[in-house]
Amino acid sequence: MELEDYGLLLGFLACVLLPAPFLGRYMFRVMERQPLWLSSHLAPVERLGYRVLGVEAETEQSWRAYAKALLGFTLLNILVLFGVLVSQGHLPLNPQQVSGLEWTLALNTAVSFVTNTNWQAYSGEANLSYFSQMLGLTVQNFISPAIGIAVLAVLCRGLARKTTQALGNFWVDLWRVILYILLPACLLLAPVLVWLGVPQTLDSYATALTLQGQEQHIPLGPVASQVAIKQLGTNGGGFFGVNSAHPFENPSAWSNLLELAAILLIPAALVFTFGDYVRDRRQSWALLACMLVLFIASLGLTLYAEHRPNPALVGLPVEQTGSLEGKESRFGVTGSALWAVATTTASSGSVNAMHDSFSALGGLGLLVNMMLGEVIFGGVGAGLYGMLLCVMIAVFLAGLMIGRTPEYLGKKLEAVEIRWLVASLLVMPVGVLVFTALAVSLEGPASAISNPGPHGFSQILYAYTSATANNGSAFAGLSANTPFHNLLLALAMLLGRLGYILPVLAIAGSLGAKRCAPPDSNSRFPTHSPLFVVLLTLSILVVSGLTFLPALVLGPLAEHLISVG
Amino acid sequence: MFKEFRTAIGMLLCVSLLTGVLYPLLITGLTQVLFPEQAKGSLIRDAQGQVRGSHLLGQSFTGAAWFHSRPSAVDFATLPSGASNLAPSNPELAVQVRQRISALAPDSEQPVPMALVTTSGSGVDPHLPVGAVLYQVHRVAQARQLSSEALMQLIEVHTERPFIGPAVVNVLALNQALQMIGVTRE
């Protein structure tokens, strides 16, 4: 680790953590329809939207109505995006004359972008038209994180409000998140990215004659506008196949820092939005502390593993530094490892280095980040509602220990809540373990593996973990573009998305209907104390982590032990 | 039911218009004015106006007289570009690294920089760490009959030192400068 490596780590933490309390307050005001500086300018656009939608902004919905609207809208988005992708050959803005995608690939891609996974079984520069990139993918890059924030807001309202069915209006939440949070943030970030070198044009690809006289095609497009939202919305679906490793998506160390910070900016700030909802920012600090502990532990492991020389190259006349296979020169080992940890904790899935070529232990860290259910910061909205489910589990455990009805922020957790909590706990094991087992035990699907030994197993394990956790990054050597993997991964993504959203909405509905216990009752287990942070961290590791230990032993741990021999 | 459907369609249309059309077009228009060079892909043209590449996309350089780029797993293809995705434990990786070492320095005692024997993530990495460029000075100087000092100076000029990332040299820009020196000599 050199001086500039520490500079990057410090710069990154500062860019993520310093704005968080302020951005968090701002987002609270957006969700609660309080007056904003922006709303004095954008109010006509907002009202026009409600007129077109035929929505009364003041009418709020019960959790069931909210869930119904969300499910219907999700289905519509999948169908429309699927339609765009299969028919892009006949649609405008197609300077490279690409044809429509094969149907399983189109379905996989549609589900992938609607669920905020952004798993890419295609290569953007070779397979997609500008129309698909702009009106297909970029639009979903806005909608899917907006839905994440909306669902989180419902859970926050359920915790904060008393004896009510009304938990917000899905359409109003969605529209306001896009109008007042995501769009302004992108309008700020995208021009800076262009300044740093990211292209933004509707011209067709250029052709160059290289200095040594070969022909080189230069892929172009509206890249910056898409990269801005794919980073800020923890989407991760790159304009190019190699994602943010591509110099056109991420041209320099500075763009790397900016894009890195953009991954975690909103997820970190939402922790404070939650604190504002429950009128107790101590809760935010406790959650943030737990997230930071897990983040820094994971970062430490990955940095350590990636800076070590590859045992397979020891003895060769080569500088014994950390491996640079699959990493870009301008990011180096630290810039790549930090990104890998940020993107796997945050369910972003954008990559600036090839995770497949990471060391066994480095890859292990990335897998664990996703297996914990994307709760260390996590996806926009999705990370925090996942974390709040973990908090309820920890509160439940604490309740068992002291022999009282578990209670979180004055709301009793009873049979209804626990049933839904357990349902959400089953999502990751089913998606990761059952689907991986299915894929590796069938000869055809298993032949997608490209690396020998335990790492081959890790490739499939990583794919189904990434899909279920709605992450989207890959051990990209896997030839995942086959009908089997396209369809099963699509199922995993849907399970990982709706398998959390529905329990969260149901729990919010149940909590919102309850009375709040008086705040002075001394039976309450304080959920902002360091003790609770320890309990929460341990329960996340034990409840989520232990489930996957056997799979990790078969994959990355076995690979590590064999390589150090 | 019908009303919900209408609302859903309306929402998709509104968001599509706002984020799928207006937003990218606004950014395109704005940046074509503010940063036209970068927005169009940082293209490099020669005196005749012919596009010779992009400042940000690495090119393949072979032979003793050029600074070589970071190895590419896809031979610098761009449609699509790609990486090796070789696991560190894959024996193929060690084989490839061995081959690249023997191609670069068949009998040198000095260890070869890691960046020169491993492939990049994008397949079109335009940069090399400074050490990996300096390693090639001797060869290029001999082939071009230039002094090592002159080359070192050229490298120094082309070195980018961000405070938050490794010091790197844009190999394409360096080779372009090298070509210019050749032209002025002739």
> Residues 70..109 of B with a Cβ closer than 8 Å to A: which?
70, 76, 78-91, 93-94, 97-98, 101, 105, 108-109
Mapping DSSP to helix (H, G, I), strand (E, B) and coil, where does residue A316 land? Answer: coil
When the pLDDT of each residue in chain A is averaged and rounded to a whole number, the result is 94
Half-sphere exposure of residue A58: CA atoms within 13 angstroms, side-chain side = 0
User: Given this model, what pLDDT does residue A358 score?
Assistant: 96
When the pLDDT of each residue in chain B is averaged and rounded to a whole number, the result is 93
Q: Is the pLDDT of residue A199 over 90?
A: yes
Q: Domain tally for chain A?
A: 1
Mapping DSSP to helix (H, G, I), strand (E, B) and coil, where does residue B6 land? Answer: helix
B31 burial via Cβ count (<10 Å: 0-12, 13-18, 19+):
buried
CA distance A450 to A459: 8
Q: Is the pLDDT of residue B185 over 50?
A: yes
Q: Is the pLDDT of residue A164 over 50?
A: yes
Q: Is the pLDDT of residue A523 over 60?
A: no
- In this structure, which amino acid lies at residue A158? G
Question: Is the CB of residue A146 less than 8 Å from the CB of residue A494?
Answer: no
User: Given this model, what pLDDT does residue A126 score?
Assistant: 85
Q: What digits encode the pLDDT tens for the residues A226-263?
A: 999 999 999 988 899 899 999 999 999 999 999 999 99
Full residue range of the structural domain in which residue A230 is found: 3-207+216-564
ipTM of the complex: 0.96
Token match 């593996």: residue?
A: A449
* Interface contact A11-B58, CB threshold 8 A: no
- Of chain A, the percentage scoring pLDDT greater than 90 comes to 85
Q: What digits encode the pLDDT tens for the residues A310-337?
A: 999 988 999 989 989 999 999 999 999 9
Q: What digits encode the pLDDT tens for the residues A99-129?
A: 999 999 999 999 999 999 999 988 888 899 9
- Of chain A, the percentage scoring pLDDT greater than 70 comes to 99
Q: Is the pLDDT of residue B67 over 80?
A: yes
User: Given this model, what pLDDT does residue B4 score?
Assistant: 86
Provide, as residue numbers in chain A, all residues whose Cβ is less than 8 Å from the Cβ of B122: 242, 245-247, 328
User: Given this model, what pLDDT does residue A40 score?
Assistant: 85
Contacts with A273 (C-beta within 8 Å, 6 or more apart), sequence order: A24, A25, A27, A28, A31, A152, A156
Question: Is the CB of residue B67 less than 8 Å from the CB of residue B133?
Answer: yes
User: Given this model, what pLDDT does residue B183 score?
Assistant: 61
Other CB atoms within a 10 A radius of the CB of residue A162 amount to 12
pTM of the model: 0.96
pLDDT band for B186, please (50, 70, 90 cuts). very low
User: Given this model, what pLDDT does residue A519 score?
Assistant: 61
Give which of A114, A95, A97 is closest to A106, Cα–Cα.
Answer: A114
H-helix or E-strand spanning residue A412: strand A411-412
Provide, as residue numbers in chain A, all residues whose Cβ is less than 8 Å from the Cβ of B64: none
**Distance (Å) from the alpha carbon of A316 to chain B's nearest alpha carbon:** 7
Higher pLDDT, A401 or A541: A541
Q: Is the pLDDT of residue A525 over 80?
A: no
pLDDT band for B40, please (50, 70, 90 cuts). very high
**Distance (Å) from the alpha carbon of B49 to chain A's nearest alpha carbon:** 11
What mean pLDDT comes out for the span A381-395? 95
**Distance (Å) from the alpha carbon of A281 to chain B's nearest alpha carbon:** 32
A354 touches chain B (CB under 8 A): yes
Q: Which of B50, B78, B109 sits opposite A219 (nearest CB)?
A: B78
Q: Is the pLDDT of residue A520 over 70?
A: no
Tell which of A1, A137, A255, A324 to mutate to test the B interface (max B CBs under 10 Å).
Answer: A324
Q: What digits encode the pLDDT tens for the residues A435-483?
A: 999 999 998 899 999 999 999 999 999 999 999 999 999 999 999 999 9
User: Given this model, what pLDDT does residue B184 score?
Assistant: 54
* Interface contact A218-B53, CB threshold 8 A: yes
User: Given this model, what pLDDT does residue A368 score?
Assistant: 95
